[in-house]
Amino acid sequence: MPRQNLAPLLGARSVALVGISQPGRFGGRLYANLRDFGYTGQIYGVNPRYHSLYDQPCYPSLSDLPNRPDCAILAVPNGRLLESFQETAALEIPAAVIFASAYLPPSPSPRARGEQEGGINSPAEDSTLNVQRSNVSLQDQLAEIANANGIAVCGPNCMGFFALEERLAVSGYESNPAMPAGSVTLISHSGSMWDALLQNNRRVHFNYAISSGNEMVTSLADYIQFALTDPSTRVIGLFLETVRDPQTFKAALIEAAERDVPIVALKVGRSERGARLAQAHSGALAGADAAYEALFAYYGVRRVKSPDELMDTLELLATGMRASSRTITAICDSGGERGMLVDLAEAEGIEFTPISEATSARLAEILEPGLDPINPLDAWGTGNDYARIFQECLQTLDSDPLTGLNVFAVDLTHASDFSPTYVEVALAAQPHLTHPLTFLVHLAAAAGDSQISRLRQADIPVLLGTETGLRAIRHVLEYSEFQRRRGGEAKRRGGEEARRRGGGAEEISRLTPHASRLTLLTELRQLLQSATGPLDEFASKEILRAYGIATPAEAVATSLAEAIYVAETIGYPLALKTAAGELHKSDRGGVRLNVRDAAALTEFYLEFEDRFGSRVLIQQMIPAGVELLLGLVNDPQFGPMLALGTGGIFVEVLRDHRLLMLPTTPADVRKALLSLRSAALLKGARGHPAADIEAVVDAAMRLAALAADLGDLIAEVDINPLIVLPSGAVAVDALIVPKYSRSRKVFAAKTGSK
């Protein structure tokens, strides 16, 4: 259900153009677009400088209009914004568009006088109209008015929008009035990218195209929710720098998945520098890129890297294309290009359908002698009767029961004698195909427009460029798989969550054997709330043990005699660690491994006592295994997430990690583990036995249960390393950082041990 009513904005039946002006000026181009696109609603011109414009009355102010419009289009400079918007609110106009930046200097200063027909971001001529409160920004004042009066606002700092089914073109920039309505909703934080995508010469047509600007009130998520209520919306494309309303955004993604409307996102800020620039441009938190990856994967959002990949993916999904399996068939006319296709498909994780013996036998009957009846298929022989051969081969590949999607991978060049025939083959075969068909043109620069146009008019997508085209195909395959799994996964998630929550008492009781689950949870919450800094290693692992996560046998000692007693109880060899509040113990020499006898223990203990203090942690030595990172990250936008990655001392160097949204499933955890670069080590490499992947999955699910109980109080959980053995996985070192701790000094919690 949309959070805001955007019908008066994106479906306005009447508009007031405040700042209407002569042809060629911003306000004049706004009027021209409304007129030339064929908008049939009432247009009221507002500008005190004119009595009439474009053969219709021009009113001095909004208050002078004969009727209240649905939307006020404010083509006025910053200095006049507040007055115009206050008038909008006073007249109870439910929607507005603000093109100006809504930024004024914080203090009065000499400045050039701006006129109403001047630059949109210039100050007002009459400085008395600038009544901005000195301690509140202009945008904040406008937002306060909008929220108090329920006004939907596009902008500020936007380029407007097109609602093409309504022929409502709210833009002061030159546009193509013949732009047809379509099934793609476009929402962009970049005005330049919005304009470029609008001007595409492909068969990607929009029902709504929105330059959302700074999203002062109405957010990206609100636009998504509105688009989802329109039956014409088949796919939504996003160019985004940030998410200003995370909870509404997640709700919109859930609704899109439920309605089977795919969302394709070009999210900038993958690199640290890109994230900083995005934040500087948008004025809002850009967010950690890994968190966005986790969010998109969880809700089925397809993330693309470039505008070309975005356009290819939108073109496929705008046809309603879905694949019935994760594999494709491909027909080519070149052995060399087939080899290139295979190489690039493998890099994208795309698999070719393993065709059946019956399919292979039928292909052998069709092909000329010497051609292999395999998939992908090179069907070109001597060129004799090639149209029949290609059509029959295409239909035969399509008939294989494991096929998910068909790809016609040829060069539709300008001057080729074969291009028109390939198009005829596709048009003739299409009515007989069970699975979707797309053309893949290897070299976009050589593609022939006339043949491509014929295919697109028949709703056969044409992908331009092998790499971006294959990525678009992968997006269709993965989105289709996401939708196939979604119902079953939702049921499994619910059952597993219930089991985790219901079975927690048995696991958690290990910390306090006679306490009830509720009592223990209360104790843990009090501990996290009272902590003044990160919990020390022993206290952190006590909480992990409460959730059934395996740790070494260990105890804290505060004297040499006690250390020797503990060591004899646990048994040698041991690890000795300072427990004096050091966050990076190994970096400062506060860890000794493989301590084999009392003499060595005495030597190291006395050294630690002198350097760090008497408090030490004595720990069972765990055999060597695969070292992983397992943890929780409380993302400021999207909440607790599970972290998995390559662990050990090089975790920050290798940066090989994945984040998973919570709640998650064992299947999701397993998939994330096997996507790590270190996955080969888990499977066993160079004579080493395979590691116990299921033990890692189990530990991850227990940590997810901890997040469900305590995630609101935890900023971070860091288990590094989690040593994975041939049987079992052990949390050798751990740190828990409470969310509201007031310092970075380690907090030694009282857990019943010294």
pLDDT above 70: residue 371: yes
Average of per-residue pLDDT values in the chain: 88
pLDDT above 80: residue 106: no
pLDDT at position 278: 46
pLDDT at position 271: 63
DSSP output for 178-230? TPPEEEEEEEES-HHHHHHHHT--SS--EEEEEE-TT-SSS-HHHHHHHHHTS
- The predicted model gives 76-87 an average pLDDT of 97
Confidence bin at 745 (pLDDT 50/70/90) = low
pLDDT at position 522: 87
pLDDT tens for 206-244 read 999 999 999 999 999 999 999 999 999 999 999 999 999
Lowest-confidence pick of 162-166, 334-338, 356-360, 528-532: 528-532
3-class secondary-structure state, position 659:
strand
Higher pLDDT, 552 or 512: 552
Walk me through the domains of the chain, giving residue ranges and CATH numbers: 1-173 (3.40.50.720), 181-320 (3.40.50.261), 321-480 (3.40.50.261), 553-620 (3.30.1490.20), 626-738 (3.30.470.20)
**What are residue 606's phi and psi, to 5 degrees?**
-65, -35
Alpha-carbon torsion, ordered 731, 735, 739, 742, to 10 deg: 170
- CB of 29 within 8 A of CB of 173? yes
Higher pLDDT, 630 or 413: 630
Q: How far apart are CA 4 and CA 152, in angstroms?
A: 7
Confidence bin at 150 (pLDDT 50/70/90) = very high
- The predicted model gives 693-721 an average pLDDT of 95
User: Which secondary structure element, helix H or strand E, spans residue 704, and what is its range?
Assistant: helix 693-710
- 541 contact partners, CB below 8 Å, separation of at least 6: 551, 554, 731, 734
pLDDT at position 521: 86
Cis peptide before 666 (omega within 30 of 0): no
pLDDT at position 117: 43
pLDDT at position 128: 34
- The predicted model gives 691-699 an average pLDDT of 96
DSSP 8-state class, residue 535:
B
pLDDT tens for 244-277 read 999 999 999 999 999 999 999 999 977 666 555 5
- The predicted model gives 652-656 an average pLDDT of 75
Confidence bin at 121 (pLDDT 50/70/90) = low
pLDDT above 60: residue 364: yes
pLDDT at position 112: 41
User: Which secondary structure element, helix H or strand E, spans residue 393, and what is its range?
Assistant: helix 386-399
pLDDT at position 416: 79
- CB of 518 within 8 A of CB of 544? no
pLDDT above 90: residue 746: no
pLDDT above 50: residue 285: no
Q: How far apart are CA 469 and CA 456, in angstroms?
A: 15
Q: How far apart are CA 633 and CA 659, in angstroms?
A: 8
Confidence bin at 656 (pLDDT 50/70/90) = confident
pTM for the whole structure = 0.87
Lowest-confidence pick of 32-36, 487-491, 560-564, 655-659: 487-491
pLDDT at position 503: 38
- The predicted model gives 531-556 an average pLDDT of 93
